[in-house]
Every structure is written in structure tokens, then in C-alpha cells.
Chain A
Amino acid sequence: MYNILLVCQGGMSSSFIVKKIIEAFSKNREEIQVISKAAMEIVDYIALVNCVLVAPNVLYAMEDIKETCQEHGITPTIIPMEVYGRMDGDAIRNLIIHSH
């Protein structure tokens, strides 16, 4: 099962995306767990997940994020701008499935 950590600047905008991701998965009768946090909180939550999604508003912190993720054997996936902006749950689902 995918256990996802979605990070953005403050954990606010990503919390709106979480619902959309869960909807997209449950439409396909798949189980998923998603939590949204601020990018700086990755260290606190990465041990609990197996997949990290990154919002396009924290790309400046990408080096840090990659480093922290790699310590846990995870490659973070960046959500493309337009997918994030349109809160496209299905596109994010594809992204998750194809990159893992």
C-alpha cells in the first residue's frame, strides 16, 4: 500500500490536495494513506512513509528534501505545477503509480 507524505511550504495548500488524492485512489478501490506537512517537517515523518511527493512551491528546498529522503531510501517525486494547481487527483495517482 502506498503510504504517502505530501509536503509544501506550510502544509496548508497540500492539505487540500490530500483529499483529491484519496478520492482518486478510492475511485479505483485502492487503499492509500496520505499525510500533508510542511517541507521542514519531513525529518519528523519520513520514517512513517514509503513515498514522498513534493509541491512545486518548495522546489528551492529540493536539495535538502532529496538528501533527507535518500537517507531513507526514498526518491521524492515533484508534482508538476499545473497538476498541483488544478488539484488533479487522478494525475497525481498516475504519477505515484508510475514512479514507484
Chain B
Amino acid sequence: MDIEKKWYEKYFVDPMNRFAKFKMVKSISGGIASGVNILLIGSILSIISIVMSFIPGLKGTAFALKFAAMKELVFGIVGVFFAASIGASNAKYNKIDQQAVGFFAVLVYFIFMRPQFLIDEKDIVYFHAEFSRFGSNSIFVSILSGLWAGEVTNFFKKRNWVMKSEGLPEIVKTWFDYLIAGTAITLSAWAFTDLLNIDLHTIFSTILVPVIGIFSSFWGTLILAASGPLLFYFGIHPLSVIYPVFAVYIAAAAHNADMLARGLEPTVANGFLINNYGTLLMINLGGAGSTLGLNFALLFSKSKIHKNLGKLALLPSILNINETLIFGLPIIFNPAFFIPYLITPIINQAITYFVMFFGLVKIPSSLALSMHIPSFINAYILSEDYRAVILVILLIFLDALIWVPFMKTHAKKLAVEEYNQAGKT
């Protein structure tokens, strides 16, 4: 037997799996994955506001404005939730109390926000900070807050530097146990940002401008589009390694949403970024590698195996879950499908880029970033442009056409195998 590792295992699969195993990567991935759930509420609010926009006479009324302000608020404070969820996810991997660390992460996040307290003539105290410091454009501060809280707590816990609190009720005990760590976290975060005068929000937004520029560029995103299927083909779940990169695209989406809220038209000329997380989700047609077109094609295949799998996978595919196709067809490690699986998302990405570049479809500028809403609905939620829905449907159709010849070849192979097996028995 050939036990020597193949070159791609040695230079691609193994390093990627090692990367995915890093506690930091796992914490960030898990934290963002559960943090985006709060954006799901935002998605529902977006749907409601879209429906409201079709009701005549409602636009500009006090009710509509109040609703819009509430939506803005929900989207605007997700940075806090990301901090808490990344902290909790880190705690999970360190096997320490998730709630305690989640709370500490929120504390750190607020300290890093560097609010001022303003007092008016009536002695009322006001909390004063840029609203953007609460939001998802501050996602890297959220990540740092979460990891800070998690790792410092872990440091104290593992060395058993805790308050000894035997005899106390369990719930009080947890808090006593974490008291020293929590105090250390608070003081260290405060010393770092206030005493050393380091404003993380300014630093990150300065660093992020060129980074977002590279990632959201045409080529940068094409590489990302290719990496999803490439990873999955070699058996690595893309979401296990890509989330830290998604953080950059989430920041890009926040940048767009911010400009849209200021009343700008979502065009390239106005500085909107085509390739933000919203656009990636919009053309995440059926899951990593855009396999929804393939799923529809399978329904019309001559092979019975294909047809059955197509029926089985249809509902998950519409919800952008494609494990059934990846493992069932299978696509993974299957040379017959490597080419279409790799090129389909690249082609989708490139077409979408140019369509948006020339202003034929509005650039998605929403924070309603949900992965598991059917793409033809998601397209409208994200861009509020019916042409985006048409684009998505055309892309699904095109994807199906790309897959058909490869599927036919595979169907023939399956038929031959079936014939041979029937001959044996």
C-alpha cells in the first residue's frame, strides 16, 4: 500500500488542518459563526422594512422613521455581541466558564471603546462614543476583546490563581473563582488603552483600509472564491479556516452599510466595495462552490442515482447547505468534478463583479448577513434591487450548464459500473 503522503496532502491539506486546529482560529470561527445569528434578526427586520416600502403612503412617516432607527440600532451594536460570542467560544475550547468570559469580553470591548462622560448643565451624565465603535466595522476589536478575555482568564484558571470559595453556593462560587481573572482583565485592558493611550479602533481602521482594499479587490476575491471549493475538495470544511478572512469582508459590508445610511447611492464611484460579505453571501449559491445549479441539473440527469440524490439534496441546497452533494455524489476527492467545482464560483464571482462595476445591479450594502436564506431571497434583502434576483437566477442557470457535461460523463460511468455489478451477481 502507498502510505507516502501525496504532495497536496503534505503542502495543502495538512497545513490547512493544522491552521484550523489553532485555538485562536477555532475561537474566532466559532465566535463569528454564533455571533452572526444576531444578524438574522436584522435580516427579518430588513424583510419587514422591504415589505413596508411597498405600502403606499408609509414612506417618511414617523412610524417608518422610527422603524428604520430601530433597525439601525440592531445592526449598529453587533460588535458587542461578536466580542461576547468570540470570548465564549474561546472559553469553550479552554473548557472554562463561557458566560463569565463572555461578560469579561463585553467589559474589555467597552474599555477599548474609550467612551467619554459628558455632563450637561443639569448634571446629567452622557455616554459619548462614536456609534460606529459598537458595530461590525469594529469586528477586529471584538475579536481582540474576546481573545483577551478568554486567554487571560484561561491563564489564571490553569495556574489555579483563583479565589478559594468552598462552601459557597455553586453560582456564587463561579463568580468568586473568576474574580481575580476578571479584575486582571479589566485592569490590563484599561492600562493598555487608557494609560498607554492606544486607541485600537483608530489603529485597526487604519490598518484595515489597505487590507480591505486587497481582499475586496477583483483578484483578491477571485482567490477567495477559488479557495472555498479547493478546501472542500480536499476534505477541509471551508468554514473551519475561512472565518478570520470573512471578518475582513464583514468590515467591508459595514463600510458599505455605513455609507448607504448616509444617503449615498451604492455605486463604485461613491466608494462602495463590490466584494463585501453581502456579495459573497448573495452568490454563495447552494453552499461553498455554488452547487445549486448542479443540484437542479441532477434532477434532470438520466442516472437514477443522480436523480435521487438531487431530490434528497434539494432542500438543503436551497438553504445553501451542500454536504449532501459534496459527500453523496461525491464531489470531494473526485477528479471527475474538480474542474466544474473549482471554476463555477470563480465565474460567478467575476460576472457579478463586472455587473456591479457597471452599475447594472446595486452593490449589496446591508448588514443582514445570513448564510442560510435561499439565495434568490437573500439577493433582494442584501441589495434591495430586484435585478440582483435576476442576476442570481441567471447565475444558477449558467452554473447548471457548466456542470451538465461533467455530470453526463459521470452518469455514463455510473451506468457502466451498475452494468458490471449486475453482471457479477
Contact = CB atoms under 8 A, between A and B. Distances in A.
B227 to A, nearest CB: 15
Contacts of B239: 9-10
A32 interface: no
A31 to B, nearest CB: 25
Contact of A82 (B17, B21, B330): B330
A91 to B, nearest CB: 12
Contact of B26 (A10, A40, A59): A40
B327 A43 contact: no
A16 B21 contact: no
Interface string B315-335: 110010101111111101000
Given A10-B239, A82-B328, A60 B323 contact: no
B21 A57 contact: no
A44 B312 CA distance: 30
Nearest to A20: B312
Interface in A48-66: 55-61, 63-64
Contact of A9 (B240, B327, B328, B332): B240
B421 to A, nearest CB: 15
Nearest to A11: B33
A87 B93 contact: no
B92 A40 contact: yes
Contacts of B236: 60
If over half of B's interface residues share one DSSP class (helix, strand or loop), that class is named, otherwise mixed; here it is helix
Interface in B213-235: 235
Contact of B323 (A8, A41, A43, A64): A8
B309 interface: yes
A82 B324 CA distance: 9
A73 interface: no
Contacts of B316: 12-13, 16
B30 interface: yes
B237 A60 contact: yes
B327 A82 contact: yes
A87 B312 contact: yes
Which of B326, B327, B328, B329 has the largest count of A CB atoms less than 10 A from its CB? B327
A85 B89 contact: no
B299 interface: no
B324 A43 contact: no
A40 B237 CA distance: 14
Given A60-B237, A60-B240, A13 B21 contact: no
A85 B328 CA distance: 4
A88 to B, nearest CB: 9
Nearest to A42: B92
B323 A84 contact: yes
B327 A61 contact: no
A85 B313 CA distance: 9
B408 interface: no
A62 to B, nearest CB: 10
A100 B21 CA distance: 29
22 contacts: A9-B237, A10-B33, A13-B324, A16-B324, A38-B30, A40-B30, A41-B92, A57-B237, A57-B326, A57-B327, A60-B17, A60-B236, A60-B237, A61-B20, A63-B21, A64-B93, A81-B330, A84-B327, A85-B324, A85-B329, A86-B309, A86-B312
Interface of B: 17, 20-21, 26, 30, 33, 89, 92-93, 95, 235-237, 239-240, 309, 312, 315-316, 319, 321, 323-330, 332, 372
Question: A-B pairs with the 8 shortest C-beta distances?
Answer: A85-B328, A85-B327, A13-B323, A60-B17, A81-B327, A40-B30, A57-B237, A9-B237
